[in-house]
Structure 1
């Protein structure tokens, strides 16, 4: 598992991401996700757009897969929580990509799919 975690860590640790596609979700243009990785543990923050503040916690589950729990406070004062399972990839320009299947656990119903792209350093 150590080698698997180091590959994910190289792609996620201390990197920022923005939404590439999220038709059913709350995050959108202006939402920035900032991830940290230590061994198989992942955590991060997100804010912007309709998200006043949010947090994530999760773990590495495979060579290119992760799972996360997240919660946020929206700009409308709503508190929401959910889950996601994601794949970490690389685009043609060498930027890290994230693709998730997700669902709400509290504050909303439903779910969907979303994708994210690494912001330039």
Structure 2
């Protein structure tokens, strides 16, 4: 396995994240993201808050970067899809962080920036 992929895998694989900031998006308080990584493939699920169920699929693009496509069904019955490009980091407490730039592809317009922090048991 390439070292680039293993660094992202170490920080994301089988880990859960919650929203730290997402002023223009649907995910928020109560939304939990669960990621998996295998080689350069990244995928996951998310739900909670306004998200009934969501899925993500993407790839590792660098030592600390990923790109994803996502789609979800909201609690209001909307189906939405979009894209995101993210950076994997670490905060002062040692928790993994994610920062994304994203945009809608279907069901809504616009986009924004969002950030997430690892949920530690």
Equivalent residue, structure 2, for 1:110: 110
**TM alignment of 1:1-80, pairs within 5 A:** 2-80=2-80
Q: 1:13 deviation in Å?
A: 0.1
Aligned mates of 2:18, 2:60 — CA distance in 1: 20
The count of corresponding residues between Structure 1 and Structure 2 is 121
Q: TM-score, normalised by structure 1?
A: 0.99
Runs ≥4 residues deviating over 3 A: none
Structure 2: runs of 5+ lacking an equivalent = none
- Distance in 2 (CA, whole Å) between partners of 1:2 and 1:72 is 31
Deviations 1:28-54 (A, max 9, x none): 000000000000000000000000000
Give the secondary structure class of the aligned counterpart of 2:3. helix
Output the CA distance in 1 between the equivalents of 2:20 and 2:109: 22
Alignment TM-score, normalising by the size of structure 2: 0.99
Deviation at 1:81, TM superposition (A): 0.1
Question: What is the deviation of 1:61?
Answer: 0.2
Q: CA deviation at 1:59?
A: 0.3
Query: For the aligned residues, what is the CA RMSD?
Result: 0.7
Tell me the CA shift for residue 25 of structure 1. 0.2
Unaligned runs of 5+ in 1: none
